[in-house]
Amino acid sequence: MEAVIEPVATFFGGAWPLVWSLLKIIGIIAPLFLCVAYLTLAERKVIGYMQVRIGPNRVGPRGLLQPIADGVKLLLKEVIVPSGANKGLFIVGPVLALGPALAAWAVVPFSDGWVIGNVDAGLLFLLAVTSIEVYGVIIAGWASNSKYAFLGGVRAAAQMVSYEIAMGFALVCVLMISSSLNLSDIVAGQGKGQGADLGLGFLSWNWLPLFPMFIVYLISGIAETNRAPFDVVEGESEIVAGHMVEYSGMAFALFFLGEYANMILVSALTSILFLGGWLSPVSFLPDGFIWLAIKIAFILFLFLWFRATFPRFRYDHIMRLGWKVFIPLTLFWVVVVAVWIMSPLSLWK
Amino acid sequence: MDFQSVVFYFFSTVMVLASLRVITARNPVHAALFLVLAFFSAGGIWMLLHAEFLAIALVMVYVGAVMVLFLFVVMMLDINLERIRQGFWSYLPVGALIGVLMVIEMVMVLGGRYFGLDAMPKPAEVEQGYSNTKELGRLLYTEYVYPFELASIVLLVAMVAAVALTLRKRKNVKIIDPAVQVAVKRDDRVRIVSMRAEKE
């Protein structure tokens, strides 16, 4: 590896750190887009089988080229800007919806040392980046100059702000027991403990001692990404498609990409924070990226499963769950974990 | 000029321009979005000072929460700029006086001998592995614990007051207690009647 990089590095000279970072970014974004494309196919197939139908099977062998066909179709369509829309913000909306979903990957570790920015405040960075995701939706909803789009934007603002708080408190519990904000350290901290000593590593991952927080984080993650059953932001049957109603072609595709990239991001974060990241569940198998991929795929499957299972929440129920159930629960659990850490029963010495 | 100065001047220029646009933009939504941009640039400048916790907290709290709610309200207002601009000239002398006073105060504070470059020592170079977040937390919960707790109590009181001011019980709302709703059985809602098929 070094021998290959060395001559290229000397060729670029002083610009090499920049080029190297760009190459690493491309190395993450390109596979991510491929995953997004095939996640859309997986969603249609999985939900299809759950509803005892076949799903897309016309384009390519077993419908495997369907995402490519969809992408080409969206690229070739015309982007229509409504005459009453606020032109500049109408274009900025979808860009802001996708941007944070990609920026967050800068601090996500894929394996030991495989991370673009191994920063100390990684978890804080993630909280900040995911908290600005809502702007794309709000701006799109307002700039479209349409009632449905506006209602979608307002709903998104209320919902995402509500669930962010519960999500934040769940993360506070995680950072308290790992006493670090660095994601690589959080994963490394999960590799130690009584379970790991017995050779059953999965028992010392954070999901077990923080089980209620794991559930809260997962559900808040679904709400943050506006996926069913929390998809009142789109709400096809009430407000047509919410903030996306006026968008067509590639502008719409950006929202779509953003939503699925966010799903993958939330799954990756749940795996890293609660399910031990790249650690292997049992000691006789080696750690590695493959375990993270399996965990991400499992949580993505849960996302699809929930969509096929649950009917959409009513709006006031969403707000009640966020404010009256999750926030008190997580607040209480922060105190419980704090007492637990200071008590002789602490698992994290 | 080294790289850090370039970044500093870039962020500062963006911040000053965005702040100017906050007060000159005709559309209140545009003004709110320019304020978001200004917060972002301020976060960037703090990041340059190795204050990563404060920078990220600024983005998280102000951009991620406060401004979202701001936008939420501003978007729903139907603001008539003509009406707001009425009386601009009659208010101008008072406004200008306050503005000049504030400029003088700023000059006195920033230009004074306690605030100059020679009065403030250069911050110590941080070594590898120094965590700004940890240091800040340690100071907040040891040396400054009383002011910190007092500030949080003031915030709590403000929060309770805000809730108490806006809380009102409305009559005739058709809200159902979720516990009752969940406990509903089929027999409470449907009655199965067995009847013979009707024929013409």
Q: Is A181 on the interface with B (CB under 8 A)?
A: yes
Shortest distance, CA A14 to any CA of chain B (angstroms) = 13
pLDDT, position A256: 85
**Which residues does chain A have within 8 Å of residue B72's beta carbon, measured at their own beta carbons?**
138, 154, 157-158
Contact across the interface for B133 and A128, Cβ inside 8 Å: no
- Chain B CB contacts of A128 under 8 Å are 56, 59-60, 63-64
Which residues lie closer than 8 Å to B64 by C-beta, 6 or more apart? A127, A128, A131, A132, A134, A164
CA distance A5 to chain B (A): 25
pLDDT tens for residues B167-188? 888 788 787 777 888 888 888 8
- Among A89, A128, A160, whose Cβ lies nearest the Cβ of B60? A128
Shortest alpha-carbon distance between residue A41 and chain B (Å): 32
Nearest CB neighbour to B56, from listed A125, A138, A160 = A125
Q: How far apart are alpha carbons A44 and A232 in whole angstroms? A: 20
Beta bridge partners of A111: A114
Q: Is A128 on the interface with B (CB under 8 A)?
A: yes
- A266-299 CB burial, b ≥16 within 10 A, e <16: bbbbbbbbbbbbbbbbebeeebeeebbeebbeeb
Query: Distance from CA of residue A311 to its chain's centroid?
Result: 22
User: Dihedral sign, CA of A226, A227, A231, A236?
Assistant: positive
The structure's pTM equals 0.84
Using a CB-CB cut-off of 8 Å, the residues of chain A touching B60 are: 124, 127-128, 131
Dist. CA B9–CA B19, nearest whole Å = 15
In the A/B pair of chains, how many CB contacts fall below 8 A? 69
Lowest-pLDDT choice from A174-183, B78-87, B160-169: B78-87
Q: What is the pLDDT of residue A347?
A: 73
CB contact under 8 A, A124 and B178: no
pLDDT at residue B129, rounded to an integer = 64
Chosen for mutation from A90, A107, A119, A125 (greatest number of chain B CBs closer than 10 Å) is A125
- Judged by CB atoms closer than 8 Å, whether chains meet at B53 and A124 is answered as yes
Average pLDDT, integer, range B91-103: 91
> Among all residues of chain A, which has the CA nearest to that of B130?
A120
Within 10 angstroms of residue A141's Cβ, the number of other Cβ atoms is 29
Which residues of chain B approach chain A closer than 8 Å at the C-beta? 27, 29-30, 33, 36, 52-53, 56-57, 59-60, 63-65, 68-69, 71-72, 75-76, 131-133, 175, 178
**To the nearest whole angstrom, how far is the Cα of A160 from the nearest Cα of chain B?**
9
Which residues on A lie below 8 Å from B30 (Cβ)? 89
d(CA A202, CA A282): 7
> Confidence class of residue B154 from pLDDT cuts 50, 70 and 90?
very high
Confidence of residue B13 (pLDDT cuts 50, 70, 90): very high
Would you say A146 and A120 are in contact if contact means Cβ atoms under 8 Å apart?
A: no
Residue among A310, A233, A298 nearest A271 (CA): A298
Question: A79-103 pLDDT, tens per residue?
Answer: 888 887 788 888 888 888 888 888 8
The answer to whether B75 contacts A150, with C-beta atoms less than 8 Å apart, is: yes
Q: What is the ipTM of this complex?
A: 0.79
* Residue A106: pLDDT over 80: yes
> What residues in A contact B178, CB-CB < 8 Å?
317, 320
